[in-house]
Structure 1
């Protein structure tokens, strides 16, 4: 499929210029090492531990400076980029991401559908609709942090043909055990690749990781240091895993709501 780069950053709260400089520097390094897909963590530009008024000041629209810059960089570098951002839309704030093709085309945006804990003081849940995104590197799904703790979104993406599910996150030390369990579990449940991209600092546990379709952790980043995690994705591992572990072939689709609608990603959860 491609060589992926998880950009595990150490954001400084509210320091958007410094965080952007760090992101571009690390991304350029990854591109120099052959990365074809770049993924940044959740809320990397703003930091995580801010009050609502601070997020309101720093949030952008989906055609704002951050997404526009990374569209230009995707075109310059010839890479696919998944870049989260704090999004403002009218009176609402969302934790969002943009998926950008190597041509600079904005393929899709996604809003975190399950807002966690104190995030509810600032952010609104996005729609619980999950659609596969067709990129030049293959079919990907995107979820954000807490979304991966529910089995249904990942399953819906897998049933639509996702080969890789990308999960930008700010995952805490207190929830580290869940990070170590749930990413491999979702990969194995659905026999797909899972790429979790976390931050360090601000109480985050790092350990960005790429998990194979059989649940094996292929590579894992530092628990405390900013770094670039690079690894090749081999799509043939999906077929091999599904030949041994026929979860999707044996799954009873009548257990899902929406009937045929789920094939187009139109199932709405909750």
Structure 2
């Protein structure tokens, strides 16, 4: 397909800086036999500059392959202050959306790094400006080459990635594991009848209401009887299941969540990292890792109850690529679940137990799209599209629409976060 961007030695490329006091050094040069654009630091840690070029003949609704390569010289190759950005405009010049070229970051020969993204132009788009930037570094320089905006082949169209996610609620307990399994079987069958792709059960339903809580009095290994029960339903309905239980492993007791895949196999396990005091005093040991799991529809992460009250675990999972966070819990934490969705631009699925409306599905804007009241015993399902971007006007990008998940990932300043480890 035709590249709508001119080569880097064309006169169409223009320099930009917020004001002269922040201007870096700009230049054009040859490197490895081809023309490149240069942005060089001046010794000031506040310098900020871009090379920009606009391409016309853009059609809203069409999909484009976008890319550019950069060579970092004297700076960290992955630093967030080197970026490529797309600014889409309509025929009158009104800004529509601004999007980072950040879908893939590919190491190339000679130290070059390729930025790539396939995306659909927003409705009404007539032009796009590609911005190649370097900022906020006292030293080093960046070379840019091979800018490209080309209509994507038919096979490169972004896929529709819909998934039916189910949350559940069980909060009436007869006092035995057998009764709890019967109740879980009921809601798991309900989810299957509604063609769920993945089902999340509340925290500790298996042991809830059963006497003798404490170290040495309950818990079982993974795999074990409970995971076998979950596996039978996963195979029967061809869905994923997330459920928590107290896991025994040698002398240790953990509050764990297990992921069962559509074939009934154990696809992963997470151990609760943040323990409330009473749980620690029961003899439960905290986990120390934040795994993400690849399902056939996308990447997911799991938090358990008290974990979700802290922003860092959700952020870590999001940075590892989790697109949906599942939270089996006994508490409610409504505000926290909305915040974790908005903080990270992801869907959050909460399976609760107590208080008002304890189970819910939240979209990346913090909107509750399905929920269950405390009086309900059953399932709530929402169909979500993991390929759908969620834009908001003036979200970082000025008078245009910005997409939260990409912005939050690209505009973090981890170099300033050292005190978080205190």
**Aligned with 2:274 (options 100, 114, 126):** 114
SS class of match (2:216):
helix
Question: Please, what TM-score do these two structures have when normalized by structure 1?
Answer: 0.84
Change beyond 3 A, Cα 1:206–1:46 = farther
Q: Which runs of 5+ in 1 are unaligned?
A: 258-268
Deviations 1:129-149 (A, max 9, x none): 112110112100001000011
Kindly report which structure 2 residues correspond to 1:249-268, keeping only aligned pairs within 5 A, or say none: 249-255=410-416
Report whether the alignment pairs 1:9 with 2:170: yes
SS class of match (1:57):
coil
2: CA distance, partners of 1:132 / 1:76: 25
1: CA distance, partners of 2:184 / 2:321: 30
Using the TM superposition, name which of 233-242 and 95-104 deviates more. Answer: 233-242
Greater helix fraction, Structure 1 or Structure 2: 1
1: CA distance, partners of 2:265 / 2:257: 14
Number of the residue aligned with 1:189: 343
Offset of 1:56 from its aligned partner? 3.4
Asked which structure has the greater RCO (Cα within 8 Å, sep 6+), the reply is: 1
Change beyond 3 A, Cα 1:254–1:43 = same
Whether contact under 8 Å (1:95, 1:123) holds in the other structure is: no
Number of the residue aligned with 2:126: none
Offset of 1:239 from its aligned partner? 5.1
Using the TM superposition, name which of 104-113 and 244-253 deviates more. Answer: 244-253
Measured on the aligned residues, the alpha-carbon RMSD in Å equals 2.2
Offset of 1:105 from its aligned partner? 1.9
SS class of match (1:230):
strand
Question: Please, what TM-score do these two structures have when normalized by structure 2?
Answer: 0.55
Q: Which runs of 5+ in 2 are unaligned?
A: 1-161, 396-401
Number of the residue aligned with 2:387: 236
Number of the residue aligned with 2:323: 163
Greater strand fraction, Structure 1 or Structure 2: 2
Deviations 1:86-139 (A, max 9, x none): 111222221111101112221111111111132122242432311211011210
1: CA distance, partners of 2:335 / 2:344: 14
Change beyond 3 A, Cα 1:163–1:255 = farther
**Aligned with 1:153 (options 294, 297, 313):** 313
Number of the residue aligned with 1:45: 206
Change beyond 3 A, Cα 1:116–1:48 = farther
